[in-house]
Amino acid sequence: MSLLQRDRDIIVSNEYVDHFDFDEVESFIRGASKNLFISHAFKNNKGKTLVQPRGGFPTYDKVFALYKEFKAANVDVLPLTIDSNTRLNDYAMAKKMLALSEENDVNMLNGYPLVNQGYRTTRKMMVHYDTPVSLRHGTPDARLLIEMALASGIFEIEGGPLTYLLPYSKNFPLDKAFLYWKYVERVCALYSTLNEPINRESFGPLSATLQPPAIVIVIQIIEMLLSLEEGVKSFSVSFSQTGSVMQDIVTANVLKKLSRHYAKQFGYGDAQIHLVYHQWMGAFPRNKNRSDSLITTATVIAAMVEADKIITKTRDEAFGIPTKEANAQAVDCVQYTLAMLRGVPKISDEAEEENLTLQVNEILEALFNDSADTLWRKAFNAIKAGYIEIPFSPHIINANEVITVRDDEGSIRIYNKGKLPLSERSFAFDRDKIRIPEGHSVVDKIIHDIGVML
Amino acid sequence: MSLLQRDRDIIVSNEYVDHFDFDEVESFIRGASKNLFISHAFKNNKGKTLVQPRGGFPTYDKVFALYKEFKAANVDVLPLTIDSNTRLNDYAMAKKMLALSEENDVNMLNGYPLVNQGYRTTRKMMVHYDTPVSLRHGTPDARLLIEMALASGIFEIEGGPLTYLLPYSKNFPLDKAFLYWKYVERVCALYSTLNEPINRESFGPLSATLQPPAIVIVIQIIEMLLSLEEGVKSFSVSFSQTGSVMQDIVTANVLKKLSRHYAKQFGYGDAQIHLVYHQWMGAFPRNKNRSDSLITTATVIAAMVEADKIITKTRDEAFGIPTKEANAQAVDCVQYTLAMLRGVPKISDEAEEENLTLQVNEILEALFNDSADTLWRKAFNAIKAGYIEIPFSPHIINANEVITVRDDEGSIRIYNKGKLPLSERSFAFDRDKIRIPEGHSVVDKIIHDIGVML
Amino acid sequence: MMKVVTGVVGNDIHVVANRLIDISLQERGFEVFNLGVNTYLEEFIDAVIETDAKVLLISSLNGEAEGWCRDLSLLKSQYELEGVVFMIGGNLSVGEDNPDVIIPKFKRYGFDLVFHQSDLGIGLDTLEAYLKEHV
Amino acid sequence: MMKVVTGVVGNDIHVVANRLIDISLQERGFEVFNLGVNTYLEEFIDAVIETDAKVLLISSLNGEAEGWCRDLSLLKSQYELEGVVFMIGGNLSVGEDNPDVIIPKFKRYGFDLVFHQSDLGIGLDTLEAYLKEHV
Ligand code: B12
Ligand code: B12
């Protein structure tokens, strides 16, 4: 028995898990319908931006009904969003809340408690809908969760040691997160040899609040490399609407270019790299019609950046977990908009792209130059040293020195670079574009810039 | 008494018009609030795209209520859409239907019968709202109508001898239309000396169905020149969403450039020329949420082409005259979208713009070379000869030879050039891009291309 | 070939549907007399009599159909129009309105077949079925 | 300076509002003990006792407030917490819910001031007014 398998046996031996039958799972995946694999859809949908909502409810029946609604709206990829207790491996609380939800027909969880529900039950739904499903969680230690997901027929796993830790956790140890995600990558790689590849996706939106593109791209590339290192063959890098159309375009162009560049440089030129665009992930307006406008605007931008997949929001965003109807309506409108948009121009901005490329390369170079022996240790050191940090992280390891605000065009610019290893030149490019209105403090400006879509 | 004044006296002596007091009207305009003049708003709103809906109801009270709703949605320019009996100078029918509408509280007219309502009544509303109002009608003989409008405090007049005839009339004589519009221009020019200039606007959407940009631009320039010739100092050229983002951008760039170029060449370099963008004017989807998406998409494009004004549609478009609530909701969402959009890139396409410029110049050159002595006669001859015609005109003078379809990018291309005086080269540029799918007739393709937003 | 008179009633100039209706009727084997847009009820009746058409197919898009068509029964009583099928379709009211109200109303005005905001293909299928049954 | 303990309750990691609340409370002259996100009710109570704070201001954004706060009265009965103002705000339910249902519910759980999806400024104004009246 391999070392990995020994770990896996331990992981699934958990009081909240029924007997986990690895052989049965393997043969399920080997024979699974191609339609369950997003990697397959990417290959066969050349040109069409796949549409994926978010969503999850505590009970099986509610998720089933949600999927039905999505399918009627012509969804391309179904989501399975996990509740936040499961995200923090608090299966006891999840179990209690699931029971309450089932008894009282009220949602006491903000997502689907996949571990408590189990893979035998969940798989029924996946096979029934025969559509790619993406696992959305935000879990630093997702080992058990992804065993459950893959066994259920969910063949896209979102997240990564940085993107699911820095925005999603307060004090989960980062080194452990790296190791736990290594496990995830390995299991994904293992299963990728059985049928179509399992797709891994990084979570570019991070804390969704004034995230500078350079940091987003650096983190995307690190997580991509960590995944490809373990043998994953299909990977999606992602980012969310910045608030400036031009900055979205520049970010997409550089992210596409550099992710492919580094994959190749590290010897993974055979991997498929996809681009995912998240509709606005920050604070939404409290007017549902305006939210619809924001959603459509994001869709137009996704078409402009030629995203392989778009992840949608809903008109209920500012209020709470959306109803299935509101969620499906967004899918329908996004599909309509993508289908109706024609003659979308291909745009670029050389100076912006050059500087962003420079910033990313500078940070990555500092990271690669770290003396540690493995990439994850280099990344770990870089974060500890503050060479990489994100604005508005709840995590204690995050340096919290970098300050970003918007320039007059709405682009997010680095105001204080903290310990980011940026050259004077690449930093000045950003910094020089910032104008704090007279009589305003930087804090005023930050508050204003967070609320830019309200 | 001037010749013009003699005509004016005759025009307003009509059984449907109360005594028309020209002196009083003149002194009203002289002292009118600057806020009633869109020409003033254009000057002071540098950069902000003004938002104007469409709308009109038969009764005063309903229009008043409509305006209230629009103001709450932060409208920039109010519309006054005229019913179609008034458009065809059928004041008797308009009167009858207005009476029915008032008695039964049901809308028996699809707009406001301004002539029957009279300027004394209508002006009260305009002064009350103190906001620029734009007259939307579609009337070939608008002489009486515009006297009423200007006397009411409506200081933007849409239309022109071609744009309000070819799409809006079956057999109204074109030569008369030219002369009647000359009257309109003169009255507008006259009043323009009293206070801020009266703005004239041409109606670029035409029949809103597969209109090739070259013809739209040619017609915009002709109407602009005819207006400036008579002394108008503020003019808006316009076009409607083509269905291809790139074609919208190219059309806007060429329309802006050439309208200014010809205004200057003809000696009217002092006139203000504005660009107006109409949200999709063709057949709307019968799904209101999708209509909202179409409206937002159009708004994003308006920002990309840097329109001075955008004219909005509503989610009710496919169903009927919109409710005031639906209409105001569109205004609110368009304002939200314009305000929230940041970092919108400036785009162009050299090859497309060069060819479109060539096509416009070729047609205009043929027109200018006509031996007639005045511009309107040259234009009249050009239309009679089929040098200018629009697809889907109900008018008997329209040659109906030109056929247009969309290319694979959604751009409207000339398939059959009829008698349009296009060079082989500029025609081939369009024609070569057309691909009729195998097994389809051109008629199939046309029907498909009309329904491109459904 | 069965003769059909068609056109758009009243002060309505929406021509796009009219062009498509013309083509569709021809494709279905009718002989079409298309009076185009902006045609008054009397003109339609005259054309039906003149051409001896079996079907009068009226379009209205701009919402003003009612005002222009309420006198149909009157006209029908003044002329010999037995056996002619009267059909109307398009967008038959100003603003959004309920087909359950509109359709009976136009039937009362004297139309045999009424289509409010419905598909042209379905409308013409219904016409053909109706003709098979009644003529 | 009046002491306030604040933070985000339960397994909730939405930190943006928490940062703004910290700044706003300081600007209003409070001494702030910010426990940050992902803080359990017991930790809040411990901090209130330790710092002798007069206000406990809890945020919850991810919809799970109810599950984490229903035991407040129990805890209040176990510790000496007289005179402490208990306040909660943010987005207090999963999905869209009626404030008229939510606010009384959280009051029953033992909160003095409850704000569901309301403006921070108004919430803090109300707090200050409440403090003037009651303390
Ligand atoms: C940004 C964001 C995220 C970021 C957070 C990054 C971070 N670490 O902070 C990311 C992407 C990581 C994230 C993750 C998740 N999120 Co989130 N997120 C948002 C979003 C879009 C904006 C939140 C924000 O920063 N707003 C800006 C701040 C300034 O405003 P605010 O938080 O609303 O706070 C204001 C007021 O509420 C008020 N206020 C707050 N506290 C208090 C207290 C008092 C006393 C008073 C008076 C006022 C007050 O003042 C603040 C300033 O105006 C909201 C939706 C929205 N609002 O548009 C969803 C939202 C809060 N998230 C939600 C959920 C469910 C999640 C997840 C569980 C994932 C999921 N299932 O989709 C995870 C959370 C995991 C976890 N363990 O909690 C839901 C909550 C659902 C509900 N209540 O029914 C929301 C509403 C989205 C939705 N409609 O589904 N999220
Ligand atoms: C293009 C258009 C115009 C163009 C027309 C150019 C031209 N000469 O044809 C322009 C811009 C000039 C225009 C002008 C006006 N228009 Co217009 N226009 C439209 C629009 C956007 C599309 C119409 C179209 O071409 N559709 C494509 C064709 C193929 O579809 P269709 O016309 O709907 O016809 C289909 C069906 O109805 C059906 N059908 C039609 N007839 C029949 C008959 C039978 C028997 C059957 C079975 C089926 C059938 O089959 C067709 C094919 O599928 C519609 C709104 C919409 N539908 O999205 C408004 C619309 C028809 N217009 C409208 C109005 C009011 C006007 C104006 C009065 C201006 C105003 N007040 O805004 C003027 C008309 C002046 C006049 N004298 O009539 C209103 C009508 C309101 C109502 N019914 O309540 C509409 C609905 C817009 C709105 N919501 O306000 N318009």
| Number of domains composing chain D | 1
CA B85 vs CA A448, B101, B156, B181: distances in Å: 51, 14, 21, 19
Residue pLDDT, tens place only, D83-122: 899 999 999 987 777 888 999 999 999 999 999 998 899 9
pLDDT in tens, B100-138: 999 988 888 889 999 999 999 999 999 999 999 999 998
- Ligand 1 atom nearest the C-alpha of D126 is 47
Q: Which ligand 1 atom is at minimum distance from the Cα of A205?
A: 11
Does the pLDDT at position B1 exceed 70?
A: no
One-letter amino acid at D37 equals V
Bridge partners of C31?
C3
Ligand 1 atom having least distance to the Cα of A316: 89
Q: What is the DSSP letter of C110?
A: T
Q: Do D13 and A209 touch (CB under 8 A)?
A: no
The candidate with the shortest Cα–Cα distance to A246, out of A350, A364, A127, A151, is A350
Task: Report the alpha-carbon distance of residue A219 to residue A251 in Å, rounded.
Answer: 13
DSSP alpha helices (H): ranges in B314-349? Answer: 324-340
Q: What is the pLDDT along chain A (454 residues), one digit of tens a residue?
A: 687 899 999 999 989 998 999 999 999 999 999 999 999 999 998 789 999 999 999 999 999 999 999 999 999 999 999 998 898 899 999 999 999 999 988 888 889 999 999 999 999 999 999 999 999 998 889 999 999 999 999 999 999 999 999 999 999 999 999 999 999 999 999 999 999 999 999 999 999 999 999 999 999 999 999 999 999 999 999 999 999 999 999 999 999 999 999 999 999 999 999 999 999 999 999 999 999 999 999 999 999 999 999 999 999 999 988 999 999 999 999 999 999 999 999 999 999 999 999 999 999 999 999 999 999 999 999 999 999 999 999 999 999 999 999 999 999 999 999 999 999 999 999 999 999 999 999 999 999 999 999 9
- The reply to whether residue D93 touches residue A286, judged by beta carbons under 8 angstroms, is no
Q: What is the mean pLDDT of residues B4-28?
A: 93
Q: Does residue D79 surpass a pLDDT of 70?
A: yes
Q: Which atom of ligand 1 is the closest one to the Cα of D15?
A: 9
Q: What is the pLDDT of residues B373-408, one digit of tens each?
A: 999 999 999 999 999 999 999 999 999 999 999 999
Does residue D12 have an active-site annotation?
Answer: yes
For B115-154, the three-class secondary structure string (H helix, E strand, C coil) is HHHCHHHHHHHHHHHCCCEEEECCCCCCHHHHHHHHHHCC
Predicted structure pTM score: 0.96
Laid out side by side, the sheet with C113-116 consists of C31-34, C3-8, C55-60, C85-90, C113-116
Are D106 and D69 spatial neighbours (Cβ–Cβ below 8 Å)?
A: yes
Measure A253 CA to ligand 2 centroid, in angstroms: 42
Q: From the CA of D62, how far away is ligand 1's center (Å)?
A: 6
Distance C59 CA to ligand 2 centre (A): 10
When CB atoms are compared, the residue of A248, A341, A452 closest to B297 is A341
Give the A:D interface size as CB pairs under 8 Å.
74
**Calpha distance C56→A187 (Å, rounded):** 71
Do C95 and B90 make contact, defined as CB atoms within 8 angstroms?
Answer: no
What pLDDT, on the 0 to 100 scale, is given for residue B365? 98
The confidence score (pLDDT) of residue D97 equals 77
Whether residue D135 has pLDDT greater than 80: no
Taking contacts as CB-CB distances below 8 angstroms, the residues of chain D near A325 are none
- Chain A residues within 8 Å of chain D (Cβ atoms): 84-85, 87-88, 90, 93, 97, 107-110, 167-171, 207, 209, 283, 286, 316, 318-323, 392-394, 443, 447, 450
Please give, rounded to a whole number of angstroms, the shortest distance from the CA of B332 to a CA of chain A: 8
Q: Is the dihedral of CA B355, B359, B361, B366 positive or negative?
A: positive
Amino acid letter at B389?
E
Residue nearest to atom 28 of ligand 2 (CA): C17
Q: Of the bound ligands, which one is closest to the alpha carbon of residue B113?
A: 2
Enter the tokens of residue D114. 């409850």
Torsion of CA A316, A317, A323, A328, to 10 degrees: 90
Residues of chain A contacting residue B345, judged by C-beta atoms under 8 Å apart:
245-246, 249, 347, 349
How many CB atoms lie under 10 A from the CB of residue A103? 9
CB-closest option in A110, A171, A447 to D64:
A110
Pocket perturbation via mutation, ligand 1, pick of A110, A219, A453 by most ligand atoms within 8 A of CB: A110
Q: What residue in B sits closest to C13 (Cα-Cα)?
A: B168
| Interchain contact C36–B (C-beta under 8 A) | yes
Question: Contact at 8 Å (CB) between D9 and D41?
Answer: yes
C-alpha span between A325 and A423 (Å, rounded): 49
CA dist A315 and A322 (Å) reads: 8
Instruction: List residues of A with catalytic annotation.
Output: 87, 158
The answer to whether B393 contacts C15, with C-beta atoms less than 8 Å apart, is: yes
Instruction: Give the residue, out of D9, D18, D22, D61, with the most ligand 1 atoms within 8 A of its beta carbon, to mutate for a pocket test.
Output: D61
D117 and A319: CB-CB below 8 Å? yes
Residue A423 CB neighbours (<10 A): 12
Instruction: For C92-101, write each residue's pLDDT tens digit.
Output: 987 777 888 9
ipTM of the modeled complex:
0.95
The rounded distance, in Å, linking the Cα atoms of D58 and D55 is 10
Nearest one of B314, B248, B315 to B277, comparing CA atoms: B248
Residue nearest atom 2 in ligand 1 by C-alpha distance: A282
B391 lines ligand 2 (CB under 6 A): no
Residues from chain A that touch B411, judged by Cβ atoms under 8 A, are: 342-343
Helix (H) or strand (E) holding C33, with range, is: strand C31-34
CB contact under 8 A, B443 and C23: yes
What's the CATH code of the domain at D48?
3.40.50.280
Q: Which domains does chain A have, with CATH numbers?
A: 3-340 (3.20.20.240)
The residues of B carrying an active-site annotation are: 87, 158
Q: How far is the CA of B454 from the centre of ligand 2 (A)?
A: 14
Q: How far apart are CA B79 and CA A236, in angstroms?
A: 48
Domain range for D92: 3-134
Give the pLDDT of residue B316: 95
| C90 Cα: distance to centroid of ligand 1 (angstroms) | 48
Q: In chain B, what residues touch C38 (CB-CB under 8 Å)?
A: 88, 169-171, 394
**Burial group, residue A448, by CB count within 10 angstroms (0-12, 13-18, 19+):** middle
Q: Is the pLDDT of residue B224 over 70?
A: yes
Query: What tens-digit pLDDT sequence spans chain C (135 residues)?
Result: 899 999 999 989 999 999 999 999 999 999 999 999 999 999 999 999 999 999 999 999 988 898 888 889 888 888 888 889 999 999 998 777 788 899 999 999 999 999 999 889 999 999 999 999 987
